[in-house]
Amino acid sequence: MEAYERLLKYARIYTPSDEKSDTVPSSFCQFDLAHTLVRELKEMGVADAQADDKCYVYAKLPATAGLESRPCLGFIAHMDTVSDFCDHPAHPMVHRNYDGGELPLGESGRTLSPKMFPHLEKLKGQTLITTDGTTILGADDKAGIAEIITMTEQILRDRIPHGPLAIAFTPDEEIGLGPRYFDVEKFGADFAYTLDGSTEGEIQYENFNACSAVFDIRGVNIHPGASKDIMVNAALVAMEINSLLPSGETPRDTEGYQGFYHLTHMEGDVAHAVLHYIVRDHDAAGFARRQEKLREITAAINEKWGLGTVSLKIQDGYRNMAEVIQNGNMHLIQNARTACETAGVPALVLPIRGGTDGARLSFMGLPCPNLGTGGQGCHGPYEHITSESMEICTRIALELVKIYAQ
């Protein structure tokens, strides 16, 4: 079975994680995919495949005879999708010999267009996979899963020599909890790659330092006709807080290594308002400065409007894995470059403007950079991928297996 055929199957399995849930996993529908993957791995001959009670899938391929001393190489992808544009199962659509132009997405009224995604013109003649425009596709990260399992099938079918291999599929990555109960010792790899990027040939080991920040604003509400010098409008204070952040440092205005403040949600009225932000920066010192800026704003607002008007809660997320990869693990990047070249695709060593399971796993003792899967436009109804890009990503992973068997 080709990788894209597996994606079509996995995409139809409903697996959004739920950031408001306190269960593990956050949504039990993720078990549907976990059990499907275990069954599929066992059917192709991977006897050591299992899903634990927290919805982590682990599998191992013993080394080819004579290669037992090679390092154990791992591959990881996540099973959950975002909940945005995911209130019902996806309906993948296959567009063979895509013409590179505008493409209506079913009856949704949405159109996948080169005006929004200029790279579409380069996909002319390929087999393009989308949804009907009412949901995400779920290529993030079911494409990574499909590529890992297809690679595994090829290794077993063609008896490709390999060292010890470890495979894992995680839940709840999209809500930042993928590594929470990941058992590094049970996984057993010396190092690994997540397949959770976009363009084929991407190699990423520099990710954002990340945190969330919540401003809780308490106002003073009184009849507006008698509010002179008394009312403190929490909604207006919220607007003031946002205005004190540096202009031009939002996701829309930044790229590459540039960090940002991102207002993700706001609610409130005169008496009470709340601002939810995520804060990102590749540079540790820059990240610390951003957090300090939030504290300075809090202090300034309380000095102006009264102590207790606003409180700030900062919760750290993940750190930049470059700190780990650059400390004796750059062979992972060098070998990934070689694998891309052998697979006939340019190596694109780029910073991640986000994070992956590998960011936390790297600090848990498992160096784990990220590779592209071929998916584009993730987290929205315009998500798409081609069968050709998935084939290339599968080939890159397979080349890495061969390199670490040498």
105-130: average pLDDT? 97
Q: Is 173 a catalytic residue?
A: yes
The model's confidence at residue 2, banded by pLDDT at 50, 70 and 90, is: very high
Alpha-carbon gap, residue 131 to 305, rounded angstroms: 50
pLDDT reported for residue 392? 98
Instruction: Look up residue 246 and give its DSSP letter.
Output: P
Average pLDDT along the chain? 97
Tokens of 282: 């590749």
> In terms of Cα–Cα distance, which of 391, 378, 367 is closest to 141?
378
The model's confidence at residue 317, banded by pLDDT at 50, 70 and 90, is: confident
Tell me the pTM.
0.89
385-406 confidence digits (pLDDT tens): 999 999 999 999 999 999 999 9
pLDDT reported for residue 354? 83
For tokens 């997405």, name the residue: 105
Which amino acid is residue 248, in one-letter code?
Answer: G
pLDDT reported for residue 332? 98
The model's confidence at residue 5, banded by pLDDT at 50, 70 and 90, is: very high
Reduce the DSSP state of residue 74 to 3 states and report it.
Answer: strand
Query: Residues 117-123: contacts with CB within 8 Å, 24+ apart?
Result: 117/376, 117/377, 117/382, 117/384, 119/376, 123/98, 123/386
Alpha-carbon gap, residue 179 to 361, rounded angstroms: 6
Q: Are 156 and 106 in contact (CB under 8 A)?
A: no
Residues 140, 141, 172, 173: which is the catalytic one? Answer: 173
pLDDT reported for residue 356? 85
The model's confidence at residue 176, banded by pLDDT at 50, 70 and 90, is: confident
User: What does residue 244 show for φ and ψ, rounded to 5 degrees?
Assistant: -85, -10
Burial per residue of 99-135, b for 16 or more beta-carbon CB atoms within 10 angstroms, e otherwise? eeeebebeeeebebeeeeeeebeebeebbbbbbbbbb
- Asked if the model's pLDDT at residue 268 lies above 90, the reply is yes
Which amino acid is residue 137, in one-letter code?
Answer: L
pLDDT reported for residue 261? 98
Percent of the chain with pLDDT over 70: 100
330-362 confidence digits (pLDDT tens): 999 999 999 999 999 999 999 988 888 999 999
247-251: average pLDDT? 95
51-88 confidence digits (pLDDT tens): 999 999 999 999 999 999 999 999 999 999 999 999 99
Q: Would you list the DSSP string of 286-345?
A: HHHHHHHHHHHHHHHHHHHH-TTSEEEEEEE----THHHHTTT-THHHHHHHHHHHHHTS
Tokens of 61: 């391929």
Residues 18, 80, 140, 200: which is the catalytic one? Answer: 80
pLDDT reported for residue 190? 98
Expressed in percent and rounded to 5, the helix, strand and coil fractions of the chain are 35, 20, 45
Alpha-carbon gap, residue 94 to 152, rounded angstroms: 24
Q: Is 172 a catalytic residue?
A: no
